[in-house]
Amino acid sequence: MKLYEQVADAIAARIDQSYYQVGEKLPSIRAISQAHGVSISTAQEAYRLLEEQGRAEVRPKSGFYVLAQSKSPQQLPDLSRPAQRPMEVSQWEDVLELLCANTNREMIQLGRAIPELGAATLKPLSRIMADLNRQDPLATLNYEHLRGSDNLRLQIARLMVDAGCVLHPDDIVTTTGCQEAISTSLRAVTEPGDIVAVDSPSFYGSMQAVKAQGLKALEIPTHPETGISLEALELALEQWPIKAIQITPTCNNPLGYTMPEANKKRLLAMTKRYDLPIIEDDIYGDLAYQAPRPPALKSFDTEGRVLYCSSFSKTLAPGLRVGWCAPGRYLNQVIHMKYVVTASTATLPQMAIAEFIAQGGYERHVRKMRAQYQQSRDVMIGWIEKYFPAGTKISYPHGGFLLWVELPSELDTSELNEYLIPENICIAPGVLFSASGKYQNCMRLNFTDPPNAKNEAAVERVGELAAQLITEQKATLNGTKRV
């Protein structure tokens, strides 16, 4: 073993022992050279090797950082290949079915995107709510400003600095969850009949917003590690009169990728050429495992063409229904739509979240959850590799608590769900994430819960049933062929 390999191994071991954590800055080359008693060039070689191995990355003018666990042996899903023309979004009945199935309290909800709500770091939020209610009932019971609580907008502006965004509180409108931010943004920048380009697979809630607004979705091929294909998007922009782009570029739902910075910049340059607005859904952005979190698309936007949408539904709790929108140059239209749709956002949760952030509670909670979800991801991937049929491909999330699983093409995951639900297990079938009924053999699973035997058994059961359905389907197909 060469000297630089020994040094690289030593650093890798420390990463494995979590001595250096994901996203953390590694010692400088000079420091490594001193610590290991090797030359500067050997230290440089060691880092080059770690980069090659996907253990570290260099950040210009800054140094080397620990990368999220290098690709595990699992095979990633392929680049998606959705229909190459604008489609009306269907699948509402399927979405409704999923939403209803998941309301059963006994259900093991592998299909929903709900964060962990039992964490001790979340407790102070409820206390703050009770206190505010007692201290100032007149304020908590009254309508909040149309734009949202002043305090909360100030705190949000501060949080968004982490995503590289420098905003004034008046650039921000609070909303009833991210869903309202997305649907009002869509309505602000499109007319019924327009075409919207979307990443694919894509969160079913925003797809349904596209449907409800009478729009057509043009699904753009999307890579499970780098996101929307800019080549495919450029081609689509040349061919179709696209009016807006709607994507989730950071810690994507369902695929889990974060678009590389360079791609984010190229995307913005492209929309500038075509003079298009982008609706950026960043709801999982603060749950990126890497620290500091990756910059939002919005952070590169100097022209106000990004309508940034987010909420506290994944970082804190969805039942609060508090989100926000930073709509850039479309601020006035979004405020109008927001007024028309819900008049104002609930008062007490806004006041409480503002106070929670100010006290440092948000930062503390999110830091804890990020680490927890990252660990759970690895356990969950392990289970799937163990229990799912051969040929299964699994995404490798950079943040959040959602996994995308692609099974052999014989499987229909909607059918699978119908067998699972009576057993009180529920997954999110792939078709929900497409306008055009693609991804029948895919599913989204969450790894919200700290790993436990009940969930492992559920994943095992999903894999078992999937294997069985695939075998049956193959037999039928062979049978048909023989006839």
Ligand X SMILES: Cc1ncc(COP(=O)(O)O)c(C=O)c1O
Binding positions for ligand X, rule: CB under 6 A = 113, 177-179, 203, 205, 248, 253, 281, 283, 311, 313, 318, 323, 343
Q: How far is the CB of 70 from its own copies (least distance, A)?
A: 35
Binding-site partner at residue 95 among its own copies, ligand X, none, CB < 5 to 8 Å by type: its own copies
User: How many CB atoms within 10 Å of residue 130?
Assistant: 11
Which tokens sit at 162? 């982490």
**At closest approach, how far in Å is the CB of 267 from ligand X?**
17
The dihedral built from the CA positions of residue 167, 172, 174 and 179, taken in this order, carries a sign that is: negative
CA gyration radius for the chain?
23
Q: Which does 253 bind (CB under 5 to 8 A by kind): its own copies, ligand X, none?
A: ligand X
With CB cut-offs between 5 and 8 Å by kind, which of its own copies, ligand X, none does residue 203 bind? ligand X
Q: Which residue is nearest to ligand X (CB)?
A: 177
Q: Which residue, among 413, 100, 473, 233, has the nearest Cα to 404 in the 3D structure?
A: 413
Please identify which residue in the block is written with the tokens 């890579």: 223
Q: Which is nearer to ligand X, 295 or 399 (CB)?
A: 399
Strand partners, 58: 64
The two three-digit tokens of residue 321, written as one number? 């229904």
CB of 260 to ligand X, least distance (A): 19
Q: Which is nearer to ligand X, 96 or 343 (CB)?
A: 343
Q: Of its own copies, ligand X, none, which one sits near residue 50, judging by CB under 5 to 8 A according to partner kind?
A: none
Which phi and psi angles does 42 have, rounded to 5°? -65, -40
Interacting partner of 229 out of ligand X, its own copies, none (Cβ under 5 to 8 A depending on kind): none
**How far is C-alpha 209 from the chain's CA centre?**
18
Q: Which does 269 bind (CB under 5 to 8 A by kind): ligand X, its own copies, none?
A: none
Spatial contact of 198 and 246, defined as CB atoms under 8 Å apart: yes
Q: Are 286 and 295 in contact (CB under 8 A)?
A: no
Q: Which does 407 bind (CB under 5 to 8 A by kind): its own copies, ligand X, none?
A: none
Considering CB distances under 5 to 8 angstroms, the limit depending on partner class, which of ligand X, its own copies, none binds residue 126? its own copies
Residue keyed to tokens 């210009």: 60
CB of 277 to its own copies, least distance (A): 18
Nearest approach, Cβ of residue 312 and ligand X (Å): 7
- Please check whether residue 417 is in contact with residue 458, taking contact to mean a CB–CB distance below 8 angstroms: no
In the Cβ-directed half-sphere of 482, how many Cα atoms lie within 13 Å?
A: 6
The site partner of 133 among its own copies, ligand X, none (C-beta below 5 to 8 Å per kind) is its own copies
Closest to ligand X by CB, 282 vs 412, is 282
Q: Which does 346 bind (CB under 5 to 8 A by kind): its own copies, ligand X, none?
A: its own copies
Cα maximum dimension of the chain: 77
CB of 421 to ligand X, least distance (A): 20
Nearer residue to ligand X within complex by CB, 182 or 237:
182
In the complex with ligand X, which residue's Cβ is closer, 33 or 313?
313
**Residues with Cβ within 8 Å of residue 383, at least 6 apart in sequence:** 456, 459, 460
Partner touching 274 among its own copies, ligand X, none, CB below 5 to 8 Å by kind: none
- Cβ-based nearer residue to its own copies, 208 or 434: 208
| Nearest approach, Cβ of residue 83 and ligand X (Å) | 21
Least separation in angstroms between residue 143's CB and ligand X is: 7
Q: Tell me how far, at minimum, the Cβ of 207 lies from ligand X, in Å.
A: 10
Contacts of 165 (CB under 8 A, 6+ apart): 296, 298, 299, 308, 326
Q: Which is nearer to ligand X, 171 or 180 (CB)?
A: 180
Cross-sheet strand order for the sheet of 402-406 = 393-394, 402-406, 442-446, 428-429
- What span, in angstroms and rounded, lies between the C-alpha atoms of 474 and 482? 12
**Nearest CB to ligand X, comparing residues 287 and 411:** 287
Pick the closer one to ligand X by CB: 252 or 374.
252
The distance of closest approach from Cβ of residue 140 to ligand X in the complex, given in angstroms and rounded to an integer, is 15
Distance CA(35)–CA(282), nearest Å, equals 40
Q: State in angstroms the smallest separation of the CB of 386 from its own copies.
A: 29
SS3 label, residue 334: helix
CA-to-CA separations, 358 to 117, 137, 271, 278, 352, in angstroms, rounded: 20, 21, 36, 30, 10
Residues of this chain that bind its own copies (CB under 8 A): 92, 95-96, 99-100, 103, 112, 114, 117-118, 122-123, 126, 129-130, 133-134, 137-146, 176-177, 179-180, 183, 187, 191-192, 205, 208-209, 211-212, 214, 313, 316-321, 335-337, 339-349
Strand 442-446 relative to strand 428-429, pairing: antiparallel
Cβ-based nearer residue to ligand X, 15 or 278: 278
Closer CB to its own copies, residue 130 or residue 262? 130
**What DSSP designation does 63 have?**
E
Instruction: Identify the residue whose tokens are 């229904």.
Output: 321
- CA dist 215 and 460 (Å) reads 40
